[in-house]
């Protein structure tokens, strides 16, 4: 059974930025995206702070976020990467399977990657994720390099949106035609 040990603020800043962006998109009537809670069962709770310090996951999570953008079903997972090499081990097989099935139902799946060392957000299309995933499954690299990424999917900050992933969705849709 998988367990979880608290590592402080790991990933919480990225999550806060995305959650705020989701609120901004909702307020503008552009999208309705929600964080998918991961069900956990606490095992150890610090008596003085009442914080969970050890827990186990009740079930495998699918993706971090799910919702709709202008009537289009959308799901994505958010990952942080300090280096310029992204290990595919950061993505679980059941997540890739869910995203693939979501795409087969005419939804849009993607990874939102924050390259923290470069302070850059990247929209990784499911097509590209699948290509990297299949390469690894067939004995190739178990990661992908920053240099392998399509430069047009880096997200530029504009309009006050902290993580402008709708720009990535728009480009993704255009590239599907």
CATH of residue 9's domain is 3.40.1350.10
pLDDT reading at 55 higher than 90: no
Over residues 48-63, mean pLDDT: 72
Amino acid 34: pLDDT: 94
- Determine whether the annotation assigns residue 172 to a binding site: no
Q: Which range has the worst mean pLDDT, 21-30, 31-40, 61-70, 158-167?
A: 31-40
> What is the domain range of residue 22?
3-176
Tokens of 100: 């693939």
Sign of torsion, CA 16 8 113 57? negative
What sections of the chain are H helices per DSSP? 12-27, 93-104, 126-137, 165-176
Specify the higher pLDDT residue, 146 or 158: 146
pLDDT tier for residue 48 given thresholds of 50, 70 and 90: confident
What pLDDT is attached to residue 56?
63
Which tokens in the block code for residue 23? 């609120």
Whether pTM exceeds 0.85: no
β partners of residue 125: 110
Mean pLDDT of the chain: 88
Reduce the DSSP state of residue 126 to 3 states and report it: helix
**Whole-number pLDDT of residue 115:** 94
Domain count for the chain: 1
SS3 of the chain: helix, strand, coil, percent, to 5: 35, 35, 30
Determine whether the annotation assigns residue 64 to a binding site. Answer: yes
pLDDT for the residue 39: 66
State the pLDDT at residue 36: 87
Query: Any known ligand binding at 51?
Result: no
Higher pLDDT among residues 61 and 44, named by residue? 44
pLDDT of the residue at 60: 65
The single-letter DSSP state of residue 128 is: H
pLDDT at 99: 97
Question: For the residues 163-175, what does the mean pLDDT come to?
Answer: 97
pLDDT value, residue 8: 36
pLDDT, average across residues 28-34: 96
Of 144 and 2, the one with more pLDDT? 144
C-alpha of 170 from chain center? 17
């Amino acid at each position: 059974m998988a367990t979880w040990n608290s590592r402080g603020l790991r990933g919480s800043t990225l999550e806060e930025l995305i959650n705020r962006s989701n609120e901004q998109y909702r307020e503008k009537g552009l999208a309705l995206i929600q964080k998918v809670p991961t069900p956990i069962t606490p095992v150890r709770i610090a008596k003085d702070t009442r914080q969970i310090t050890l827990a186990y996951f009740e079930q495998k999570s699918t993706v971090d976020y799910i919702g709709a953008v202008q009537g289009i079903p959308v799901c994505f997972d958010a990952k942080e990467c300090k280096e310029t090499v992204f290990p595919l081990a950061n993505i679980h097989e059941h997540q890739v399977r869910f995203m693939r099935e979501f795409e087969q139902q005419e939804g849009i799946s993607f990874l939102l990657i924050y390259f923290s060392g470069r302070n850059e957000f990247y929209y990784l299309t499911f097509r590209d994720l699948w290509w990297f995933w299949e390469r690894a499954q067939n004995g190739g690299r178990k990661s992908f390099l920053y240099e392998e990424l399509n430069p047009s999917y880096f997200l530029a900050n504009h309009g006050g949106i902290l993580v402008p992933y709708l720009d990535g969705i728009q480009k993704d849709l255009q590239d599907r035609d």
